């Protein structure tokens, strides 16, 4: 009996070594919902490239852009199940897991991307990266896209121009409340369906940074885009916490260094990428870009501002206060 047990144990050991040898590199699937040609899409490809160069044979990153593997409806659940290991959802899409991140959706909270950047770097902003760990989601970095612009089938110059229209929103109650303040309706819709939703007339308006407008060709179905800069669209690069902390320490440290490098590049280039797409939209002649006077923009701010109060208790006044100090 003893002999058999020893033999069996040896066989097991050998077979598990064999399994290890056959396993090959650790595969990280990174899925997202925008095209390659956007700040996030470029960041994902740069991450893949640097991992290829520095961790060849140890880690392999597979990038799935444009909702080709998972989309808004199921990507977070897929990540928590470890069916996909990394995502970079918009900060508007975490309602279900933490209320604190809703601070990023509050209209006119941040003057510009620089202010957003300052908040993300400070203690409170960094804390929010860990706000979902109890739900097996770990935040690795913030990636910028840009400030959101309001678009519609009609020219929006004053808040009342939006009244009665239906806007596509991300899955966020703050954004729902924001449009309710304008007397407008809103429909939560996965990003992959936005073009169709606008083209078919199911919704008449939307809010997007220039890069998302251009890369999804939304400007072709939105004859008017108002430069409102009323809110921010940024991302949290996340992983499945159990998966992430299970990566051998040395490899994880390498990955974290690569993420730092990619984050720096994404965040440095995002604003320029959005400006370039804005120019492309203007040059296309398909959509009229409307700029607001200071008074007009103040009117939007006044109209939307009550949303802050509505969500203060949920988000936490400490978070809101910390965010407010970053504007200059
Ligand atoms: C949206 O749904 O509008 C955005 O979150 C898409 C994205 O990832 O930029």
Residue 14 has pLDDT above 60, yes or no: no
The runs of H, that is alpha helices, within the chain are 2-23, 39-54, 75-80, 113-121, 123-128, 173-181, 194-199, 210-215, 241-246, 249-284, 294-304, 306-315, 317-324
Count Cβ atoms below 10 Å from residue 124 Cβ, excluding itself: 19
CA gap 301, 324 in Å, rounded: 15
For 6, 64, 110, the CA distances from 321, given in Å and listed in that order, are 65, 37, 12
Residue 19 has pLDDT above 70, yes or no: no
Q: Does residue 274's CB lie within 6 angstroms of at least one atom of ligand 1?
A: no
Q: Does residue 66's CB lie within 6 angstroms of at least one atom of ligand 1?
A: no
Q: Does residue 258's CB lie within 6 angstroms of at least one atom of ligand 1?
A: no
Express each pLDDT in 107-121 by its tens digit: 999 999 999 999 999
| Closest ligand 1 atom to Cα of 170 | 2
The answer for residues whose C-beta is within 8 angstroms of residue 85's C-beta and 6 or more apart is 27, 28, 29, 30, 79, 239, 240, 243, 244
Express each pLDDT in 181-205 by its tens digit: 999 999 999 999 999 999 999 999 9
Express each pLDDT in 53-90 by its tens digit: 999 999 999 999 999 999 999 999 999 999 999 999 99
User: Model-level pTM greater than 0.80?
Assistant: yes
SS3 166: strand
Q: Tokens representing 136?
A: 């097996």
CA gap 111, 147 in Å, rounded: 9
| Closest ligand 1 atom to Cα of 72 | 2
Q: Does residue 198's CB lie within 6 angstroms of at least one atom of ligand 1?
A: no
Express each pLDDT in 204-218 by its tens digit: 999 999 999 999 999
**Which ipTM score applies to this complex?**
0.99
Express each pLDDT in 235-278 by its tens digit: 999 999 999 999 999 999 999 999 999 999 999 999 999 999 99
Average pLDDT, the chain: 94
CA of 190 to the centre of ligand 1 (A): 8
- Per-residue model confidence (pLDDT) at position 296: 98
Express each pLDDT in 124-149 by its tens digit: 999 999 999 999 999 999 999 999 99
21 falls in which pLDDT band (50, 70, 90)? Answer: very low
Q: Does residue 175's CB lie within 6 angstroms of at least one atom of ligand 1?
A: no
Which amino acid residue places its CA nearest to atom 2 of ligand 1? 191
> CB of 34 within 8 A of CB of 215?
yes
Q: Does residue 212's CB lie within 6 angstroms of at least one atom of ligand 1?
A: yes
Residue 91 has pLDDT above 50, yes or no: yes
The mean-pLDDT minimum among 15-19, 158-162, 268-272, 306-310 falls in: 15-19
Express each pLDDT in 22-48 by its tens digit: 479 999 999 999 999 999 999 999 999
Residue 154 has pLDDT above 90, yes or no: yes
9 falls in which pLDDT band (50, 70, 90)? Answer: very low
SS3 112: coil
- Kindly state the percentage of the chain with pLDDT values over 70: 93
- Per-residue model confidence (pLDDT) at position 129: 98
Q: Tokens representing 305?
A: 């501002």
Sign of CA dihedral 255, 260, 265, 266: positive
CA of 306 to the centre of ligand 1 (A): 24
CA gap 292, 158 in Å, rounded: 9
**Which residue of 90, 188, 195 sits with most ligand 1 atoms within 8 Å of its CB, as the best mutation to test the pocket?**
90
CA of 33 to the centre of ligand 1 (A): 7
- Per-residue model confidence (pLDDT) at position 11: 46
């Amino acid at each position: 009996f003893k002999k058999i047990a020893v033999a069996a144990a040896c066989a097991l050991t050998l077979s598990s070594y064999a399994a290890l040898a056959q396993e090959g590199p650790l595969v990280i699937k990174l899925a997202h919902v925008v095209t390659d040609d956007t700040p996030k899409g470029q960041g994902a490809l740069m991450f893949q490239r640097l991992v290829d160069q520095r961790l060849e044979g140890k880690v392999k990153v597979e990038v799935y852009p444009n909702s080709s593997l998972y989309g808004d409806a199921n990507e977070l659940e897929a990540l928590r199940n470890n069916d996909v290991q990394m995502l970079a959802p918009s900060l508007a899409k975490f309602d279900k897991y933490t209320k604190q991140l809703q601070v990023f959706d509050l209209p006119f909270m941040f003057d510009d991307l620089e202010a957003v950047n300052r908040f993300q770097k400070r203690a409170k902003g960094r804390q929010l990266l860990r706000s979902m760990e109890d739900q097996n989601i770990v935040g690795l970095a913030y990636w910028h896209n840009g400030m959101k612009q309001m678009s519609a089938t009609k020219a929006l110059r004053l808040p009342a121009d939006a009244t009665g229209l239906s806007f596509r929103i991300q899955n966020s109650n703050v954004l729902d409340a924001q449009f309710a303040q304008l007397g407008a309706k809103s429909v939560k819709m996965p990003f992959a369906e936005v073009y169709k939703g606008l083209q078919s007339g199911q919704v008449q308006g939307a809010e997007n940074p220039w890069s998302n407008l251009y890369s999804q060709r939304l400007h072709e179905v939105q004859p008017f885009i108002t430069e409102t800069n009323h809110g921010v669209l940024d991302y949290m690069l996340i992983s499945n916490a159990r998966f992430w902390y299970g990566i051998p320490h040395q490899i994880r440290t390498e990955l974290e260094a690569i993420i730092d490098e990619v984050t720096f590049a994404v965040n440095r280039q995002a604003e320029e990428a959005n400006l370039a797409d804005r120019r492309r939209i203007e040059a296309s002649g398909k959509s009229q870009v409307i700029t607001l006077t200071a008074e007009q923009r103040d009117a939007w701010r006044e109209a939307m501002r009550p949303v802050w109060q509505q969500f203060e208790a949920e988000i936490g006044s400490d978070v809101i206060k910390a965010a407010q100090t970053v504007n200059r």
